[in-house]
Amino acid sequence: MMISVILMSMLVVPSYIYAAPLDSICQIPNDLHDHYKMLSKTMKGLAFLDINTDSSLSPDDDNKTPEDCPKEPQTKGHIKDRSTCPWIEIKNKRDDLFPSEWMSTKCRCSNCIGRNGAYSCQSVFTPTLLLKRTVCKNGTYVYERIIKEIRTGCVCAYTASVYQPVSN
């Protein structure tokens, strides 16, 4: 009986080792940071994320929520607080993208502060270049360029169903 238990345990252990995902042997390219910086200098018309690796990203308004809409416009502080459509910053993380962390925004109000119902707060999107991990080739991950629309602020605009252009 004891011999069969030992033999069974010997058969089980190798299956755990074999079950490790194949991606675990793949490495991130050493020059990925430099490649992204080079792209940021050569490609015009796109935003690039700050890839300062010395500090981690952290929103400065952790205690605010989108439901925390002020009743009146603020007169002091950052523009994200003084806007008629204030916003909060949100930390995003995706391990399959480079840079893997970035900040985006979310409007704190649905209607513009101090405006009638014909206006609403709308997100502003900025096309931003990121590198997306695709496959593992010869032990190194391969990345492709993608454009991701990242929310970068909020503006007060006519509500789409209310706005009608003047015809001539």
Confidence of residue 37 (pLDDT cuts 50, 70, 90): confident
Q: Is 14 helix (H, G, I), strand (E, B) or coil?
A: helix
Pick the closest to residue 158 from 107, 108, 109, 111 (CA basis): 111
Residue-wise pLDDT for 53-91, tens only, equals: 444 445 555 555 556 888 887 889 898 999 999 999 999
Report pLDDT for 60: 54
List, for residues 110-133, the tens digit of each pLDDT value.
999 988 778 999 999 999 999 999
Instruction: Note the CATH number of domain 22-48+67-158.
Output: 2.10.90.10
HSE-CB at 161 with a 13 A cutoff on CA atoms is 2
DSSP-assigned beta bridge partners for residue 151: 125
- The listed range with the strongest mean pLDDT (12-16, 43-47, 57-61, 160-164) is 43-47
**Predicted pLDDT of residue 94:** 94
